[in-house]
Amino acid sequence: MSQAPCILADMGEPTILHADLDAFFASVEQLLDPSLKGKPVLVGGGIVLAASYEARAYGVRSPMPTRDAKRLCPDAIVVHGHFERYLDLSAHVMEVLEDASPVIEQISIDEAFVDVRGTTHLLGSPSAIARQIRSRVAGEVGLPISVGVASTKFLAKIASARAKPNGLVVVARGTELDFLHPLPVEAMWGVGRVTAARLHRFGIFTIGDLAALPRGALSSSLGPWASGSLHALAWNRDPRMVRGGRRAGSVGSQQALGRGLTDPEELSVVVLGLADRIGRRARKKDRSGSTLTMRVRFPGPRVVSRSHTLPSPTSSTAALAELGGVLLRRAIDGEEEPVTLVGMSLSNLTTDEFLQLELDVDPGDVLRAGSSMDLKRRAIDASVDGIRERFGRDLLKLGSAPDRGVTPEEFRRLAEHSD
Ligand SMILES: [Mg+2]
């Protein structure tokens, strides 16, 4: 009896979306400082982590030494980056994507796959959903995002790249190979410069050239696994599913602290800021969590984690700040080195369908859901959320940490995927 919808789904538009913010870090800088709009902008210090499209027009790429980039584009404006804001805006974009479907797989700070198969009956066709996403991200976050819609993850990723900047490409069913085969092999996800050069040596320049070879023809030069999988991809054979719920399981945020903090007062302000951000995001999704994890980084690669599971879930900013403070003290107990990064995440999430009032609570147990203190805190959070909803997030800013010229170490890895 459930066959009809399956047939309809097969005949309709493909349902895998790949959404990718355009020149993410550079676009955020242009958003934060409108005088940078339309200008070549480089984000980074000695190395370019991101370049605006205006800078890319001069051949600037990331990563590249800033010195070389300035030689290519002498008018480029170099900014150090607002890495906290990138995380915040990324989370906001992911929330927009989550509204399109719960089946979302975030693969880097600025891109995610979304399978909308289960939500087309509510939100419209996949291409209509893609248009909604683009207009919401532009309107609510203020950033350009490109979306590819296709029948496989592989093709959706290629489609979003072809859609850039600020576009939408839908590869209709039945047209996949017409779309794919004329493209250069470099367009394939996983074909880097080295593999491309090897393929060129065999006279293979387009994906169609690759598809036309007998399967296994390249196994002696690329190895059997790579040659087999490239050949399959050239025919758009990609069985990988969008692994949903990869971020739905937790709500987290982190703050890098430059050269580091040692003062417990200053650190508790940072914890309050993180608790505020996490609590706000969780409440917006009507979620509460019972496990809070605190991650503290010291100079070098050393990280200490502490977590605690509450008897009942919470999303209260005050409760998260309180528990976060306890975990932080445990994490830095006996430490003499400064803390260079604090990360907090709330997991074991449940949906706040109803709040069970507890009749028999220990009045001292302020973290318990349903206690009178918890109810008061929920009321405060609700009014703060309401004010922010109306007047903007920055109006009531809790625990804003001092700006200390954050070192973008954490972001080098993330930036590799950023385009
Ligand atoms: Mg991107």
| pLDDT one-digit tens code per residue, 88-134 | 788 889 889 988 998 998 887 889 999 999 999 999 999 999 999 99
Mind listing the pLDDT tens digit of every residue in the chain (419 residues)? Answer: 444 444 444 458 999 999 999 999 999 999 999 999 999 999 988 888 899 999 999 999 988 899 999 999 999 999 988 877 887 788 889 889 988 998 998 887 889 999 999 999 999 999 999 999 999 999 999 999 999 999 999 999 999 999 999 999 999 999 999 999 999 999 997 788 888 998 999 999 999 999 999 888 888 888 887 888 889 999 999 988 998 764 456 788 888 888 888 888 889 889 999 999 899 888 887 788 888 888 898 887 788 888 887 777 888 888 899 899 999 998 998 888 999 989 898 877 776 654 444 333 344 454 555 566 666 677 677 767 766 666 555 545 555 444 433 334 444 434 333 34
* pLDDT in the model for residue 417: 38
Q: What is the pLDDT of residue 248?
A: 52
- The CA distance from 27 to 335, in Å, is 39
Cα 25 to ligand 1 centroid, rounded to whole Å = 9
pLDDT score for 182? 97
What single-letter amino acid sits at 217? A
Cα(403)–Cα(154) distance, rounded to whole angstroms?
A: 40
- Residues marked active site are found at 111
Instruction: Kindly state the tokens that stand for 394.
Output: 């920055």
E strand or H helix that includes residue 29: helix 24-32
* Tokens describing residue 227: 């040659």
Contacts of 164 (CB under 8 A, 6+ apart): 20, 22, 146, 419
Q: What's residue 27's pLDDT?
A: 96
- Give the pLDDT score at 74: 97
C-alpha 271 – ligand 1 centre gap (Å): 29
In contact, 369 and 355? CB cutoff 8 Å: yes
3-state secondary structure 345-413: EEEEEEECCCCCCCCCCCCCCCCCCCCHHHHHHHHHHHHHHHHHHHHCCCCCCCCCCCCCCCCCHHHHH
DSSP H helical segments within 202-263, as ranges? 207-212, 219-222, 224-234
CA 275 to ligand 1 center in whole angstroms = 28
The DSSP string of 112-142 is EEEE-TTTHHHH--HHHHHHHHHHHIIIII-
Please give the distance, rounded to the nearest whole angstrom, from the Cα atom of residue 54 to the centre of ligand 1. 15
**Separation of CA 146 and ligand 1 centre (Å):** 8
Q: Tell me, what's the pLDDT at 252?
A: 84
- Which residues lie across from 351 on neighbouring strands? 287
Q: Ligand 1 centroid vs 63 CA: distance in angstroms?
A: 14
pLDDT exceeding 70 applies to what percent of the chain? 81
Domains of the chain: 1-172 (3.30.70.270), 181-234 (1.10.150.20), 250-412 (3.30.1490.100)
User: How close is the Cα of 417 to the center of ligand 1, in Å?
Assistant: 7
Geometric angle at alpha carbon 159, from 57 and 247, rounded to 5°: 100
How much distance in Å is there from the Cα of 114 to the middle of ligand 1?
15
The pocket of ion ligand 1, defined by CB under 5 A, consists of 20-21, 110, 419
Helices (H), 235-316: 264-284
Question: Residues 6 or more apart from 33 whose CB is under 8 A from it?
Answer: 79
The rounded Å distance from CA 287 to ligand 1 centre is 28
How many Å apart are CA 386 and CA 390, to the nearest integer? 6
CA of 415 to the centre of ligand 1 (A): 9
User: What confidence score (pLDDT) does residue 410 get?
Assistant: 41
**Rounded to two decimals, what is the model's pTM?**
0.63
Q: Calculate how far, in angstroms, residue 150's C-alpha sits from the geometric centre of ligand 1.
A: 18
| Tokens at 223, concatenated | 């190895």
The H or E element that residue 49 is part of is strand 48-51
